[in-house]
Amino acid sequence: MTLDPCEKCEELLQPYLDRDLTDAEHREAESHLDDCGYCRKRYRFEESLRRYVRQAWAEGMPPELKAKLSALRTPL
């Protein structure tokens, strides 16, 4: 297990979060999340951020808050 930034993140996590993987890739992503503390942390963060953003959009969010939220999504 490693806590260093992981190259798998870019490759797997974004499509995983977007539900954009084949079955085989989906399984690969899940087994990687089991093994990799960094990706797991990253995944939880992205997942909760997405949930929050979706909810905020649905409720109608002021533009400056939208801007703040997108700034949170730092590139890997």
Q: Which residues bind Zn ion (CB under 5 A)?
A: 6, 8, 36, 39
Closest approach of Zn ion to the CB of residue 9, in Å: 6
Q: Report CA 17 to chain centroid distance, whole Å.
A: 6
Q: What is the rounded distance in angstroms from the CA atom of residue 44 to the CA atom of residue 49?
A: 8
Q: Which is nearer to Zn ion, 28 or 61 (CB)?
A: 28
Q: Which is nearer to Zn ion, 34 or 68 (CB)?
A: 34
* The dihedral formed by the CA atoms of 37, 12, 10 and 52, expressed in degrees to the nearest 10: -80
Q: Which is nearer to Zn ion, 5 or 62 (CB)?
A: 5
